[in-house]
Chain A
Amino acid sequence: MIDVVYFAWLRERIGLPREQVETRAETVADLVAELTAREPRYAAAFADTASVRVALDQSLAGFDAPLSGVREVAFFPPMTGG
């Protein structure tokens, strides 16, 4: 089980801020493929992965990063602080 959290328009499109996912995905890209295959709302959220950023246990990571040992995966748009 892995915790998956969503922010901003990803949270709105998927319709929830956090969920636990039972997965054997080896990388972030594998997890995105699994989620996208689930329901259209996930496919809509991940339609353009160029505008999606990922953090693994609160550190920025790429889509090719391994999920081994990771407890929390976060998906969000490019950040707009300041």
Chain B
Amino acid sequence: MLRVDAAAFDPGAELNAFSAGLTTAGAVVSFTGIVRDTPAGLAAMEIEHYPAMTGPAIAEMQTTAARRWDLAASLVIHRHGRLEPGETIMMVATAAPHRAAAFAATEYLMDYLKSRAPFWKKEIARDGTETWVAATPEDEDALSRWD
């Protein structure tokens, strides 16, 4: 399950809907990402993406994760557009027979979403300064642990 949308969503309701009806999965793990304020003061975060590539790229990550950890299901919701501090940007949930697989698959999806899903974040400070968020070497290193 996958949704890329500008609209706000309720992560609790999404998690309940995801978990409902699972009978072969003994474990559900979820991660929710929230826009955090910065020391300089953040007015908003603007998230741009590549619509023709975003869905296929994320779906491929989910397929790889499902094969690697024998998942019962996975869910990715990612927003784009203008978000303010405290708003939910995205969530990932995975369901697996046992918790180790669900935790690992959630981390895998997070690492790949961070560096291989075509989103770009721009921070708009309260004084109007605009800064594109740069990818870090740590983000890239995080992928190598899954090789």
Interface of A toward B, CB cutoff 8 Å: 5, 7-9, 11, 55, 58-60, 72, 74, 76-82
Checking B52, B56, B118, B140 against A81 with a beta-carbon cut-off of 8 angstroms, the contacting residue is B118
Counting contact residues on chain B (CB < 8 A from A), the size range is 20 to 34
Is the pair A76, B33 in contact by a Cβ cutoff of 8 Å?
no
Task: State A6–B130 Cα separation when bound (angstroms).
Answer: 18
List chain A residues, Cβ under 8 A from B121: 80
Question: Closest approach, in angstroms, between the C-beta of A75 and any C-beta of chain B?
Answer: 11
The interface residues of chain B, by DSSP majority, are classed as mixed
Known interface pairs A82-B90, A82-B113; A76-B120 also in contact (CB < 8 Å): yes
| Interface of A, helix, strand, loop or mixed by DSSP | mixed
Q: With an 8 A cutoff between CB atoms, is B122 at the interface? A: yes
Kindly identify which residue among A5, A11, A81 contacts B78, using a CB–CB cutoff of 8 Å.
A81
Chain A nearest CB: distance from B84 CB in Å? 18
Cross-chain contact B116 with A79 (CB below 8 angstroms): yes
Residues in B42-86 with C-beta less than 8 Å from chain A: 48-50, 52-53, 56-57, 78
Chain B's closest residue to A53 (CB) is: B118
Contact B115 A55 (CB under 8 A): no
A79-B114, A82-B110 given; name 13 further pairs at CB < 8 Å: A7-B120, A8-B120, A9-B132, A11-B48, A58-B50, A58-B53, A74-B50, A77-B132, A79-B115, A79-B117, A79-B120, A80-B133, A80-B135
B119 CB-CB contact with A under 8 Å: yes
